[in-house]
Copies of this chain bind each other. A is one copy, B any other.
Amino acid sequence: MNIPVARDKFRRFLTQKGLRVTNQRLAIFDAALAQTEHFTAERLLDFARAIDDSVSRATVYRTLPIMVESALLREVDIGTGEKYYHPNEEGSTTQVAQVVCLDCDKIFEISAPFMGWYGNTVSSKLGLTPVSQRLQVSARCDTLRLTGSCPRRN
């Protein structure tokens, strides 16, 4: 999904929710959608400020949940204290797992269609209805271990 189309979706989402379309929100949105890798709130602040230097940290933190709710952005919590975000691909109903390299700090997203089935099975046994699922694998880089340097590192 290209950025102008996505931006339009976001504008519509805001309006429909009774929220205002502000320059800051658009700057933060554009900055977020331009990313190809996972990013944190702090890095998004930098990117957004490059577009509109009036953007503040508070507004980034206030805008992130809105973008996540609009389903144009996905939140990824890998248990490192800070949350990561990533633009959501089209047709985002697919379940994805994250493989996090402890050496590179890179996050790889892998489809894991069985997650939905597992969540349903297991939840219904407990009298619960699943809301969301996450599957994460932490791993170490083989190349780094064997050769002392990781091709993906920086």
Which A residues from 49 to 82 make CB contacts under 8 A with B?
A: 77, 79
In the complex, residue of chain B having the shortest beta-carbon distance to the beta carbon of A79:
B77
Minimum distance in angstroms from A98 CB to a CB of chain B: 10
Residue numbers in B under 8 Å from A40 (CB-CB): none
A interface secondary structure, majority: strand
A106, B133: Cα distance in complex, Å: 16
When all copies of this chain in the complex are counted, the total is 2
Interface residues of A in 113-142 (CB under 8 A from B): 114-115, 118-119, 122-123, 126-142
A143 at the interface (CB under 8 A from B): yes
Which residues on the B side are within 8 Å of A26 (C-beta)?
none
Q: Is the CB of B139 within 8 A of A128?
A: yes
